[in-house]
Chains A and B, each alone.
Chain A
Amino acid sequence: MNSVDASEHYEQAATDLAPALLTVIIDTNPHAWAQLEDSLSLSKAIANILVFINAHLACNYANEVAVVASHSQKATWLYPVHQDKDTTTSSDQDGDISMNGASAAAAAAAAQQTNKYRPFRMVEEQVNRNLRELMNSTTDNDLRLTTSTMLAGALTLALSHINRRTIAWAEAHGGADLEDTAANGAGGGSGGPGTARYSAEDDERLQSRILVVSVSGSSDSAHQYIPMMNSIFACQRLHIPIDVCKLSGDAVFLQQACDATKGIYMCLDNPGGLLQYLMMAFLPDQRSRRHLVLPTNVNVDFRAACFCHRRVVRTGYVCSICLSIFCEPPPGTVCLTCGTQLELGDYGAKPALLPRKKKKKKRVNGSAAGTPMSTPTPGP
Chain B
Amino acid sequence: MADSDEEYVGEVTDDEDDFQVSRTGPERRSKRRKQRGGAEWELSRTWETLVEGADGTISSTVEGLLEAGKRKRLLKDTTPLQRGIIRHLILTLDLSQSMSEKDLRPTRYLLTLRYAQEFVREFFEQNPISQLGVLGLRDGLALRISDMSGNPTEHLTAIQALKPQDPKGLPSLQNGLEMARGALFHTPSHGTREVLILFGSLLSSDPGDIHQTINTLVSDQIRVRIVGLAAQVAICRELCTRTNGGDETAYGVALNEQHFRELMMDVTTPPATDSQKQSASSLLMMGFPSRTMDSAPSLCACHSNPSRGGYKCSRCHSKVCSLPAECPACGLTLILSTHLARSYHHLFPLINWVEVPWRRASKSAACFACGIPFPPAPPENQWSMAEGHAKGMSVSSRYECTACKNHFCIDCDLFAHEVVHNCPGCQSKSTRPLEAQSDTAPAVDGMDTTV
Q: Interface residues, chain A, CB within 8 Å of chain B?
A: 72-77, 80-84, 87, 90-91, 93, 142, 145-146, 150, 152-154, 156-157, 159-161, 163-164, 167, 179, 182-184, 186-193, 222-227, 229-234, 237-238, 256, 260, 298-300, 302-305, 307, 313-326, 329, 333, 335-337, 340-345, 347
| B432 close to A344 (CB less than 8 A) | no
Q: Which residue of B lies closest to A232 (CB)?
A: B338
| A357 → B minimal CB distance (Å) | 25
Question: Are B152 and A190 interface neighbours, CB within 8 A?
Answer: yes
Identify B283's interface contact among A90, A182, A187, A317, CB under 8 A: A317
Q: In the assembled complex, how far is the CB of residue A372 from the closest CB belonging to chain B, in whole angstroms?
A: 35
Cβ of B302 within 8 Å of any chain A Cβ, yes or no, is: no
Q: Which residues of A contact B420 (CB under 8 A)?
A: 156, 159-160, 230-231, 234
Which of A73, A87, A160 neighbours the largest number of chain B CB atoms within 10 Å of its CB?
A: A160
Inter-subunit contact B156/A157 (CB<8 Å): no
Specify which chain A residues have a CB less than 8 angstroms from the CB of B412 in the assembled complex: 160, 163-164
Inter-chain pairs besides A224-B427, A315-B286, 6 sampled, C-beta below 8 Å:
A164-B411, A190-B121, A314-B288, A316-B288, A337-B447, A343-B283
- B288 and A304 form a contact (CB under 8 A): yes
A/B interface sample: 24 pairs, CB < 8 A:
A83-B371, A154-B428, A156-B422, A157-B369, A159-B420, A160-B369, A179-B419, A187-B156, A190-B124, A192-B117, A226-B345, A226-B451, A232-B338, A260-B338, A298-B293, A302-B289, A315-B288, A315-B314, A315-B332, A317-B284, A318-B340, A322-B347, A342-B283, A345-B285
Contacts of A329 in B (CB 8 A): 283
Contact partners of A189 in chain B: CB under 8 A: 322
As a 0/1 sequence over residues 412 to 426 of chain B, the CB contacts with chain A under 8 angstroms (1 = contact) are: 101110111111101
- Is the CB–CB distance between B314 and A314 below 8 Å? yes
B418 to chain A, nearest CB (A): 8
Residues of chain A within 8 A (CB-CB) of B450 are 307, 324, 336-337
Whole-angstrom CA separation of A95 from B309 in the bound complex = 52
Cα separation A90 to B428 with both chains bound (whole Å) = 22
| Contact in complex: A337, B446 (CB < 8 Å) | yes
Residue in A87, A153, A182, A224 with the greatest tally of chain B CB atoms within 10 Å: A153
B28 interface residue per 8 A CB criterion:
no
Is chain B's binding surface mostly helix, strand, loop or mixed?
Answer: mixed
- On chain A, the residues within 8 Å of B431 by CB distance are 223
Do residues B428 and A157 form an inter-chain contact, with CB atoms below 8 A? yes
Q: Is the CB of A229 within 8 A of B344?
A: yes
In whole angstroms, how far apart are the Cα atoms of A175 and B70 in the complex? 20
A341 to B282, CA, bound (A): 8
Q: CB < 8 Å: which of B291, B430, B444 contacts A73?
A: B430
Instruction: Determine which of B118, B284, B337, B415 lies in contact with A304 in the assembled complex, contact meaning CB atoms within 8 Å.
Output: B337
State the Cβ distance, B70 to closest chain A Cβ, in Å. Answer: 10
* B-side contacts of A233, CB under 8 Å: 341-342
Question: CB of B157 within 8 A of chain A?
Answer: yes
The answer, yes or no, to whether B281 is at the interface (CB within 8 Å) is yes
Nearest first, the 4 closest Cβ-Cβ pairs linking A and B are: A187-B121, A82-B371, A153-B427, A160-B369
A149 to chain B, nearest CB (A): 10
Nearest B-chain residue to A150, judged by Cβ? B428
Q: Is the CB of A182 within 8 A of B419?
A: yes
The smallest C-beta distance from A313 to any residue of chain B, in angstroms, reads 6
In the complex, whether B362 has a CB less than 8 A from a CB of chain A is: yes
**In the bound complex, CA of A32 to CA of B301 (Å):** 44
Interface centre among B336, B428, B430 (most CB of A within 10 A): B428
Which chain B residues border A163 with CB–CB below 8 Å?
Answer: 370, 411-412, 415, 419
Choose among A142, A167, A256, A314 the residue that contacts B289 (Cβ–Cβ < 8 A). A314
In the complex, the answer to whether B338 meets A229 with C-beta atoms within 8 Å is yes
Q: Which of B280, B287, B290, B422 contacts A152 (CB 8 A)?
A: B422
Cα A159 to Cα B432 in complex, Å, equals 24
Flag whether B153 is at the interface (Cβ < 8 A).
yes
CA distance A317 to B340 in the complex (A): 12
Residues of B within 8 A of A343 (CB): 190, 280-283
A345 touches B429 (CB 8 A): no
B82: Cβ under 8 A from any A Cβ = yes
Task: Check: B191 CB closer than 8 A to any chain A CB.
Answer: yes
Asked whether, in the complex, the Cβ of B432 is within 8 Å of the Cβ of A146, the reply is yes
Chain B contact residue count (CB 8 A cutoff)? 86
Q: Does B213 contact A (CB under 8 A)?
A: no
Chain B residues proximal to chain A, CB less than 8 Å: 82, 85-86, 117-118, 120-122, 124-125, 152-153, 156-157, 160, 190-191, 273, 280-291, 293, 309, 314-315, 322, 332, 336-338, 340-345, 347-348, 362, 364-367, 369-373, 376, 411-412, 414-416, 418-424, 426-433, 444-451
Question: Which chain B residues border A83 with CB–CB below 8 Å?
Answer: 365-366, 371, 373
Closest residue of B by beta carbon distance from A337: B450
Contacts of B156 in A (CB 8 A): 187, 190, 192-193
Chain B residues with CB below 8 A from A321, complex form: 82, 85, 273, 281
CB distance from A182 to the nearest CB of B (A): 7
- Shortest CB-to-CB span from A258 to chain B, Å, is 12
Q: Which of B86, B125, B419, B431 has the most CB of A within 10 A?
A: B419
A86–chain B nearest beta-carbon distance, Å: 11
A148 to B327, CA, bound (A): 38
Is B191 touching A320 in the complex (CB atoms < 8 A)? yes
A320 touches B428 (CB 8 A): no
Q: Are B285 and A315 in contact (CB under 8 A)?
A: yes
Set of chain A residues within 8 Å of B418, measured between Cβ atoms: 179
CB within 8 Å for A234 and B419 given contacts A163-B412, A307-B450, A345-B283 = yes
Q: Which of A145, A256, A325 contacts B340 (CB under 8 A)?
A: A325
Distance (Å) between the CB of B127 and the closest chain A CB? 12
Which residues of chain B have C-beta atoms less than 8 A from A313's C-beta? Answer: 288
Once the chains bind, are B282 and A90 in contact (CB under 8 Å)? no
Q: A146-B430, A150-B427 given as contacts; is B152 within 8 A of A192 (CB)? A: yes
Contacts of B340 in A (CB 8 A): 304, 318, 323, 325
**List of B residues within 8 angstroms of A230 by Cβ:** 344-345, 420-422
**Are the C-beta atoms of A153 and B281 separated by less than 8 Å?**
no
Question: Which residue among B332, B432, B450 has the maximum number of chain A CB atoms within 10 Å of its CB?
Answer: B450
Report the separation of the CA atoms of residues A74 and B309 in the bound assembly, to the nearest whole angstrom. Answer: 39
Q: Which residues of B contact A84 (CB under 8 A)?
A: 364-366
What residue in chain B is nearest A237 (Cβ atoms)?
B419
The reply to whether B283 and A318 form a contact with Cβ atoms under 8 Å apart is yes
Chain A residue nearest to B323 (CB atoms) is A302
Q: Would A319 and B283 be within 8 Å (CB), given that A80-B371, A336-B450 are in contact?
A: yes
Q: Does the CB pair A187–B284 fall under 8 Å? A: no
Inter-chain CA distance A184–B338, complex, in Å, is: 22
Do residues B152 and A187 form an inter-chain contact, with CB atoms below 8 A? yes
User: B residues within 8 A CB of A302?
Assistant: 288-291, 336-338
Please tell me which one of the listed residues A154, A187, A192, A225 contacts residue B448 in the complex, with CB atoms under 8 A apart.
A225
Do A314 and B82 form a contact, CB below 8 Å, given A190-B124, A191-B153, A237-B125? no
Nearest Cβ distance between residue B49 and chain A, in whole angstroms? Answer: 24
A315 and B287 form a contact (CB under 8 A): yes
Q: Complex: how many Å from CA A313 to CA B335? A: 12
Specify which of A186, A222, A234, A314 is in contact with B287 (CB 8 Å cutoff).
A314
Contact B430 A145 (CB under 8 A): yes
Inter-subunit contact A229/B341 (CB<8 Å): yes
Contact B428 A224 (CB under 8 A): no
Task: Say which residue of A82, A153, A319, A340 sits within 8 Å of B428 (CB atoms).
Answer: A153
Pick from B366, B415, B429: contact of A160, CB under 8 Å = B415
CA distance A324 to B337 in the complex (A): 10
Contact of A320 among B122, B157, B283, B422 (CB under 8 A): B283
Assess the B446–A156 pair: CB atoms within 8 A.
no
